[in-house]
Structure 1
């Protein structure tokens, strides 16, 4: 049997592990208070959604975007300290488990890393609130190997406004986008409100991503993309990651069935996203369908897509589309 390749555009595993004890007020400690610290300290062995040993042991060829999630409302300086804490944890795990994981500095190395049986780890950031008044931190995160930045979380920051606020992209945000594109860091529009989304479309010159968003015409949550947003993302050569969050898959928030996922895929494909649709699980950041929990069950999606749409589309959604997007970005 051929090995299944998986490229996932978003997870929050780094925060869940790095901040399990380090930042009690951010909610991770409370959520996982019942779990012994030693079971939430290592990326290679834990009881979170994503565990290197379990995932690689399942036989996947695997590329994972690991986000440093920075919550709203912390202020620029504390937001930066949160980023530094997660960045340092990521670095420590790369060193401790170098036989299992390697950071991706150039996407054209992903096939090699995956071929060596390791997790190809793409470092990303969710929430740019630490970038305030000075674009120099764009260069600092780029120097740390960050390959993609989700501009906001749900609220407003100095760059733009998230889906729970009403404002758009700021003038400073336009400077940030120019700096990101200049350093080859992908602009990620997931979490933006509609006004900010369209401002980003106008401000960007390179293809952009919606790393973990679904189809709003299927599930009406404002975190999902409208049909017109999907169309322009496709036209611009972008990428969109299918989010596993129960609340973004169906309106009633119930445990989604495979057919609920297929409805979103059907919609994306009908809008021309055959080469733009990927996976954006949101593992360790949300509740996911029971049949996809934990991450090593993700192969069920490949089987589902292959049965419904054929092997070529299944492989494109699960790996090839995201790989091609990041390879083009780094070319």
Structure 2
């Protein structure tokens, strides 16, 4: 009899754990810079990347599991979380030097996936996402921010990043590379850059127009044959920074079947408040959804790459944003923005 009682108790505990897992808030974040911040914490070759955390103990900035960055596995353990981890390539590196940089940060990513395999797993096909989350793990999508390792001639590195499991590439950062130009200059895509876009689409690597200038954005619209993304950009009608999207650009992304990630960067949220308010964020959500529809907006936090509002100052606080959206726009939209839109976008990208 006691054995039967014990069995029922264990079954009850298992069912409760499964119920708790199902009830956890789902989060799909299209962009963070956590990999660079952790991988380069002690880098002699790239010392500028360590300056931001010079006063932080090195032991607190070495592991993806537990750290003092915006994102750690410990911080997001309470959620069902899919994170796009970007390898950020700085503008001053080009060609082979930029590729070595990518390889260094990618090696860190692979090492962390192996070291914490019981908690996190790289996802190379978003159609497998739900099964992974159901198993209690964090999902990791690998992306690249800045295509500076493309040399202006060969397209071999498209295949190489595809083999590494890269699922999205931000074509430029703020400056110019062989693909095209960010918002620091006015050039559009180069002829070679147009070939890169086509090659990325062929390998089902999402083309990301965040950081691309307006002329380059227009060029992508002219040649894109697949839905594309702005992984971490806001509405320029609300905050005038040129990193944000014009209304016409929001419509173009929506019309393509694409996705826009709401950026938490203080400079892109408000022209007025150094620490943006909840109302500042709501205005961007309202504008993007009004212009592009409720299926275009997702999250693109830019955690570990910028200063963010204090009330969502690290990943464990993000439920406050979900509550805010739910209160003002309804639970259904909050769930779409937080997970469903991005999950469906990346799943569709695998199917076509």
Task: Give the TM-score range, shorter chain.
Answer: over 0.9
**1:16 maps to what in 2?**
37
- The yes-or-no answer on 1:77 pairing with 2:100 is no
Number of the residue aligned with 1:42: 63
Q: Tell me which of 126, 132, 136 is aligned to 1:117.
A: 136
Preserved CA contact (<8 Å) 1:6 1:319:
yes
Hey, what's the Cα distance between the residues in 2 that align with 1:237 and 1:211? 14
Is the contact made by 1:24 and 1:30 (CA closer than 8 Å) also made in structure 2? no
Cα displacement string for residues 130-156 of structure 1 (whole angstroms, at most 9, x for unaligned residues) = 011211001100000000000000000
- 1:215 matched to 2:231? The reply is no
Deviation at 1:272, TM superposition (A): 3.0
TM-score (norm 1): 0.98
- Aligned residue among 131, 135, 156 for 1:136: 156
Question: Given the two structures, how large is their TM-score scaled by the length of structure 2?
Answer: 0.92
> 2:300, 2:251 → 1: CA distance?
18
Unaligned stretches of 5+ residues in structure 2: 1-19
Contact 2:94–2:150 (CA under 8 A) maintained in structure 1: no
- C-alpha displacement of 1:273: 2.6
The reply on whether 1:31 has 2:52 as its aligned counterpart is yes
Q: Partners of 1:245 and 1:262 in 2: how far apart?
A: 14
Deviation at 1:220, TM superposition (A): 0.2
Please, what is the CA RMSD of the aligned residues? 1.0
Q: Which residue number in structure 1 is paired with residue 337 of structure 2?
A: 317
Between 1:26-35 and 1:175-184, the stretch displaced more is 26-35
Q: Which one has the largest radius of gyration?
A: 2
For 1:99-126, what per-residue CA distance to the aligned partner results, in whole angstroms no more than 9, with x for missing partners?
1100001000111111111111000000
SS at structure 1 position matched to 2:121: strand
* Ranges of 4+ aligned residues in structure 1 off by more than 3 Å: 23-26
- What is the aligned residue count? 329
Any unmatched runs of 5+ in structure 1? Answer: none
Alignment of 1:177-188 (within 5 A): 177-188=197-208
1:204-225 deviation line (CA, Å, top 9, x unaligned): 1000000000000000000000
